Structure 1
Amino acid sequence: MSDLLFNTALFDEFDRLQRQMSSLFGGLPSSIRASRLSAFPQINLGSTDDSVEIVAFAPGIDPAKIEVTVDKGLLTISGERTRAEPESEGRAYAQERFAGSFRRAIELPRDADPDNVKARYANGCLAISVGKRETSRPRAIPVQ
């Protein structure tokens, strides 16, 4: 039983260290793996031969209030999510729906082409496609 208590305490220390490191760097992740827990919007990140695909889950947001920028290898998604329900006079015990300004930064791979970015919003999902540079795409080499 003492081994179980030691392992639990060890994982708690790792969690504490991760929170401290996140606050030290101002909460801006250098990659999706470094993002803090419960960041908004949540993101899926993938890749094809031709592009880097990012899907940000942002339901209930007016697409006109979302801004996507690319600068120096960082793709930034920012905007504002308004409160959906009216303010109540009582105190909330728990509040799971985020309201307010948000900003997520994602480090793009070196082969991403910042001049070839497309974004579309549908059904609460912001889909962003960042093309890859022509020189980085796989190609067949003829053998003579």
Structure 2
Amino acid sequence: MYRSFFPRDIFAEFDRLQRDMQQAFDLAPTIRGMGSNGFPALNVGATPEAVEIYAFAPGVDPASLEVNLERGLLTIAGERKGVLPAADAKAAVHINERFDGAFRRMLTLPDDADPEAVDAKLRDGVLRITVQRRAAAQPRRISIQ
């Protein structure tokens, strides 16, 4: 996609603005799932033993991250500081596509998720949250007598 550093065509800018607004309010599912513009980006999967959540949050200070689980609702919150020059600096920013500021993502976990068995680890900008399933909910083989 072509984006000029110094826009001169006002109609092209209106077209870009309309596409951005449409994408922000587009709730139709895509191949990537619902809500394609959230930060941090999430991958969610499940095994018979656990639910795995990967939150991709490069540049986030681990001290600013907060993971809560309450009544089956997992909340990931935090803040990423900006890296742009100060407002009083004599520098112009032409494109800023990197998200900075406070964020909050919420996920509903399955009923068999065990709130007492949650593990969260941050490594190389990827937050991995593992929520174990209750032992009673895990599949087991029944022997025939």
Aligned residues: 120
Which deviations, in whole Å up to 9, do the C-alpha atoms of 1:26-49 show, x marking residues without a partner?
A: xxxxxx944x33110000001111
Asked if 1:104 is matched to 2:105, the reply is yes
Letter in 2 for 1:19: F
> Runs (4+) of structure 1 moved beyond 6 Å?
none
Structure 2 length-normalised TM: 0.73
Letter in 1 for 2:97: E
Structure 1 length-normalised TM: 0.74
SS at match of 2:74: strand
Cα shift at 1:50? 0.8
Which deviations, in whole Å up to 9, do the C-alpha atoms of 1:53-102 show, x marking residues without a partner?
A: 00000011111110000111110000000012433544433211111000
Greater share of residues in helix: 1
The correspondence of residues 27-38 of structure 1 with structure 2, limited to 5 A, is 33-34=33-34, 36-38=35-37
- Aligned partners of 1:84 and 1:130: how far apart in 2? 33
SS at match of 2:25: helix
Letter in 2 for 1:123: D
The correspondence of residues 65-84 of structure 1 with structure 2, limited to 5 A, is 65-84=64-83
Cα shift at 1:117? 0.5
Cα shift at 1:21? 6.5
Cα shift at 1:20? 7.3
Q: Which runs of 5+ in 1 are unaligned?
A: 1-14, 23-31
Q: Which has the larger radius of gyration?
A: 2
Match of 2:39 in 1: 40
**Aligned-residue CA RMSD (Å):** 2.4
